[in-house]
Structure 1
């Protein structure tokens, strides 16, 4: 029986390519890039105009995921006893409510007892004062430490076998490695895969922005 060598080679190559793709898909399905979020502020249009003047708008500096962006505009944060942190960037677009997100170290410096919360859930959170070039806002609540979380699209969530509001663990390699527990999964069509932690968490584990970490369930 004669053998078509070319067909045989073609079939073998195709099988090996399929194995390679399948293997890499399995590896990719548990690898998450990390973004390190510095302290920042989200503002309502009303509060933006108090801080920067009537009809003020945000000037886009850098595109972020989900239609968000880092703005050129910055403010000063005042805590109790007038402790201050200057040049804190605003993220746009404007929101329904103004919110300040800090790392724990920032909260200690400002002498604020900010709770760990999911972004947007500010009821009963810490008070803080925001100062802009045209005015100041005294928030009775709205200052939080953001809960660590992973943004992902529905397709990425399916590949990782997780759903919105699941909680997973993330393994960090290296000399100061360890495991992040209680990492919230947030799924939306506008999201791309990225874990968000604050500067305290990144520094404690020796993590750099853009580093790839492993999801474990």
Structure 2
């Protein structure tokens, strides 16, 4: 076989291997399982940890976010509590707690499924730190499942910011997730976020993949 022919075949094979989308497979998205966590304003950080306190980074996340070294206790109705809930930074304009449906049952609160940031009319919850307590009259949600992607990935997948899609998990459970929201930003890395309840039910771990269904 001629050298040029070998080079051409090699190039075609490499392109096929690196292409995340084709008619048979669909668009493949890696999964990140999101555990319960807290977002805080700077004022609430200082209430919980002391005047002038700033969050410290434990691990960098996408979009400029990070998992902090700081953890808190969240308290629901009838003083049901969960300890060591991690704070994600940087600070936000409004404080928010994201939990799973199982967490909500344990805490004794009725928590709506919402997009992150949509906390109006959501569940009340208390956040306890080493220096103080913050009580949110509303602010606790179950995060709506979603896919982060860059504009380039959105073009490849044939979707736009705000679209809702279904995805399929090709494992022994064979689960299909509906109502998956698309979020597009140039700072995002391609990843679908689901909570621990969804992951456990579908037997999914971080790093597994799903396929967007057309």
SS of structure 1 residue aligned to 2:147: strand
Listed as ranges, the gaps of 5+ residues in structure 2 are none
In 1, Cα distance between the equivalents of 2:107 and 2:38? Answer: 15
User: 1:59 matched to which residue of 2?
Assistant: 56
Post-superposition offset of 1:121: 0.9
User: 1:133 matched to which residue of 2?
Assistant: 130
Report if aligned partners of 1:29, 1:159 keep a CA contact under 8 Å in 2.
Answer: no
SS of structure 2 residue aligned to 1:23: helix
In 2, Cα distance between the equivalents of 1:13 and 1:174? Answer: 36
User: 2:112 matched to which residue of 1?
Assistant: 115
1:19 and 2:12 matched? yes
1:170 and 2:167 matched? yes
User: 2:195 matched to which residue of 1?
Assistant: 198
Report if aligned partners of 2:26, 2:213 keep a CA contact under 8 Å in 1.
Answer: no
Judged with a 3 Å threshold, the aligned counterparts in structure 2 of structure 1 residues 85 and 173 are, in CA distance, closer, same or farther, namely same
1:104 and 2:101 matched? yes
How many residues align structurally?
210
1:69 and 2:66 matched? yes
Post-superposition offset of 1:215: 1.4
Greater shift, 12-21 or 198-207, is seen at 12-21
User: 2:141 matched to which residue of 1?
Assistant: 144
Post-superposition offset of 1:15: 3.6
SS of structure 2 residue aligned to 1:17: helix
In 2, Cα distance between the equivalents of 1:14 and 1:151? Answer: 36
SS of structure 2 residue aligned to 1:101: strand
**RMSD over aligned Cα, in angstroms?**
1.5
Listed as ranges, the gaps of 5+ residues in structure 1 are none
In 2, Cα distance between the equivalents of 1:29 and 1:90? Answer: 35
In 2, Cα distance between the equivalents of 1:104 and 1:124? Answer: 17
Report if aligned partners of 2:165, 2:182 keep a CA contact under 8 Å in 1.
Answer: yes
Post-superposition offset of 1:168: 1.1
SS of structure 1 residue aligned to 2:206: coil
CA deviation vs aligned residue, 1:85-143 (integer Å, no higher than 9, x gap): 01100000000000000000000101111100000111111110000000001101110
Report if aligned partners of 1:72, 1:89 keep a CA contact under 8 Å in 2.
Answer: yes
In 1, Cα distance between the equivalents of 2:15 and 2:161? Answer: 25
TM-score (norm 2): 0.94
Report if aligned partners of 1:79, 1:111 keep a CA contact under 8 Å in 2.
Answer: yes
In 2, Cα distance between the equivalents of 1:125 and 1:212? Answer: 31
User: 2:76 matched to which residue of 1?
Assistant: 79
